[in-house]
Structure 1
Amino acid sequence: MPDNFNFEAAPFDTLSEYERNLLRSALSVGYYVPGETLIEPGSTTLALYIVLKGVVEERGKDDQLFAHYGPDDLFDVRGLFAGQTRHAYRAVEESIVYELNAKMFHELCERNAPFASYFQASLAAKRQLARRDGQNLAEFILTRIAREHLLPAVEVSADLSLGEAARTQLEVGADALLVRLEGGFEGLGIVTRTDLMAAHFQRRLSDDTPVGTLAHQPLAVVELGDFLFDAMILMTRQRIERVVVRQGSQPVGLLHLTQVLSLFSTHSHVLALRIARAETLDELQRAAETLDTLIATLEGNGIRLRFIMQLVSALNEQLLARVFEQSVPAAFRSRCCLVVMGSEGRGEQLLKTDQDNALIHADDISSEDALTWMAHFNEALKGFGYPQCPGGVMASNALWCKSVSEWRHELQTAAQEGRPEQLLRLSILMDAYPVAGNEHWFSSIQAQLSTWSDQGERWLSDMALAALQFDTPLTLFGGLKTSGERLDIKRGGLFPIVHGARILALRKGLMVRGTLARLQVLGKHGVLDQHMADNLAETFELFVQLRLSQQLAGDRSGLRQGLDVSRLSRAERDLLRFSLHVVKKFKQTLGRQFHLDTR
Structure 2
Amino acid sequence: MSDDFNFSSPPFDQLRPFEREQLRDALSVGYYAVGEVLLEAGAAVPSLFVLLKGVIEERGEDGRLFAQYAAEDLFDVRGLFSGSSKHRYQAVEESIVYELPAGVFHQLCAGNPDFARFFRADLASKRQLERRDGQNLAEFILTRIAREHLLPAIEVEPTLPLGDAARLQLSRGADALLVREDGELGIVTRTDLMTAHFRDGFGEELHIGPLAHRPLSHVELGDFLFDAMILMTRQRIERVAVCEEGEVVGLLHLTQVLSLFSTHSHVLALRIARAESEMELRAAAETLHTLIATLAGNGIRLRFIMQLVSALNEQLLERLFELQVPPALRGRCCLMVMGSEGRAEQLLKTDQDNALILADDLPAEQGLLLMQRFSAALLDFGYPPCPGGVMASRPEWCKPLAEWKRDLLDVSLQGRPEQLMRLSILADAWPVAGNLQLFEGLRESLGELAGDNIRWLSDLALPALQFDTPLTFLGQLKTHDAHLDIKRGGIFPIVHGARALALREGLAERGTLARLAALQRLGVLDEALADNLAESFELFLQLRLRQQLAGQRDGREQGLDVSRLSRHERDLLRYGLHVVKKFKQSLTRQFHLETR
TM-score normalised per structure 2: 0.76
Q: Indicate if the aligned counterparts of 1:359 and 1:401 stay in contact, CA closer than 8 A.
A: yes
1:221-265 Cα deviation digits (max 9, x unpaired): 111111000000011111111111111221111111111111122
Distance, in Å, in 2 between the alignment partners of 1:344 and 1:429 is 12
**Any residues of structure 2 matched to 1:40-439 within 5 Å, and which?**
136-183=136-183, 187-265=184-262, 267-439=264-436
Q: Indicate if the aligned counterparts of 2:350 and 2:556 stay in contact, CA closer than 8 A.
A: no
Distance, in Å, in 1 between the alignment partners of 2:594 and 2:134 is 45
1:585 to 560, 582, 590: 582
1:563 to 542, 547, 560: 560
Residue identity opposite 1:450 in structure 2? G
Q: Indicate if the aligned counterparts of 2:151 and 2:250 stay in contact, CA closer than 8 A.
A: yes
Q: Indicate if the aligned counterparts of 1:416 and 1:455 stay in contact, CA closer than 8 A.
A: no
User: Residue 35 of structure 1 aligns with which residue?
Assistant: none
Q: Indicate if the aligned counterparts of 1:352 and 1:557 stay in contact, CA closer than 8 A.
A: yes
Distance, in Å, in 2 between the alignment partners of 1:588 and 1:249 is 43
Structure 2 unmatched ranges of 5 or more: 1-132
1:376-397 Cα deviation digits (max 9, x unpaired): 1111111111111011000000
Q: What displacement does 1:139 show? A: 1.9
Q: What displacement does 1:134 show? A: 6.9
User: Residue 503 of structure 1 aligns with which residue?
Assistant: 500
Q: Indicate if the aligned counterparts of 1:415 and 1:455 stay in contact, CA closer than 8 A.
A: no
User: Residue 445 of structure 1 aligns with which residue?
Assistant: 442
Q: Indicate if the aligned counterparts of 2:452 and 2:504 stay in contact, CA closer than 8 A.
A: no
1:352-393 Cα deviation digits (max 9, x unpaired): 000000011111000110000111111111111111101100
Residue identity opposite 1:199 in structure 2? A
Distance, in Å, in 1 between the alignment partners of 2:156 and 2:589 is 60
Residue identity opposite 1:174 in structure 2? A
Higher relative contact order (CA 8 A, sep 6+): 1
Q: Indicate if the aligned counterparts of 1:416 and 1:456 stay in contact, CA closer than 8 A.
A: no
Distance, in Å, in 2 between the alignment partners of 1:346 and 1:504 is 15
Which segment is superposed worse, 249-258 or 307-316?
Answer: 249-258
TM-score normalised per structure 1: 0.76
User: What secondary structure does 1:339 align onto?
Assistant: strand
User: What secondary structure does 1:535 align onto?
Assistant: helix
Shift in CA distance, 563/549, structure 1 to aligned 2, threshold 3 Å = same
Identical amino acids, percent of aligned pairs: 71
1:141-197 Cα deviation digits (max 9, x unpaired): 0111001011111111111111000000100111111112232xxx11111111111
Q: Indicate if the aligned counterparts of 2:136 and 2:260 stay in contact, CA closer than 8 A.
A: no
Q: Indicate if the aligned counterparts of 1:327 and 1:374 stay in contact, CA closer than 8 A.
A: no
User: What secondary structure does 1:253 align onto?
Assistant: strand
User: Residue 489 of structure 1 aligns with which residue?
Assistant: 486
1:86-117 Cα deviation digits (max 9, x unpaired): xxxxxxxxxxxxxxxxxxxxxxxxxxxxxxxx
1:523-566 Cα deviation digits (max 9, x unpaired): 11011111101100000000000000110111211344310101
Residue identity opposite 1:582 in structure 2? V
Structure 1 unmatched ranges of 5 or more: 1-132
Residue identity opposite 2:238 in structure 1? E
User: What secondary structure does 1:458 align onto?
Assistant: coil
Q: Indicate if the aligned counterparts of 1:494 and 1:540 stay in contact, CA closer than 8 A.
A: yes
Shift in CA distance, 453/250, structure 1 to aligned 2, threshold 3 Å = closer
Shift in CA distance, 559/516, structure 1 to aligned 2, threshold 3 Å = closer
Distance, in Å, in 2 between the alignment partners of 1:456 and 1:403 is 29
Distance, in Å, in 2 between the alignment partners of 1:452 and 1:181 is 41
Which segment is superposed worse, 420-429 or 242-251?
Answer: 242-251
Q: Indicate if the aligned counterparts of 1:357 and 1:395 stay in contact, CA closer than 8 A.
A: yes
User: What secondary structure does 2:266 align onto?
Assistant: helix
Residue identity opposite 2:140 in structure 1? F
Q: What displacement does 1:417 show? A: 1.2
Q: What displacement does 1:296 show? A: 0.5
Q: What displacement does 1:451 show? A: 1.8
Distance, in Å, in 2 between the alignment partners of 1:418 and 1:327 is 37
User: Residue 529 of structure 1 aligns with which residue?
Assistant: 526
Distance, in Å, in 2 between the alignment partners of 1:204 and 1:250 is 35
User: Residue 9 of structure 2 aligns with which residue?
Assistant: none
Residue identity opposite 1:380 in structure 2? A
The answer on 1:519 being equivalent to 2:513 is no
Shift in CA distance, 175/134, structure 1 to aligned 2, threshold 3 Å = closer
Distance, in Å, in 1 between the alignment partners of 2:322 and 2:452 is 37
User: Residue 573 of structure 1 aligns with which residue?
Assistant: 570
Distance, in Å, in 2 between the alignment partners of 1:366 and 1:336 is 11
Aligned alpha-carbon RMSD (Å): 1.4
Aligned length: 464
Distance, in Å, in 2 between the alignment partners of 1:380 and 1:417 is 37
Shift in CA distance, 271/165, structure 1 to aligned 2, threshold 3 Å = same
Q: What displacement does 1:511 show? A: 1.6
Structure 1 runs, 4 residues or longer, greater than 4 Å off: none
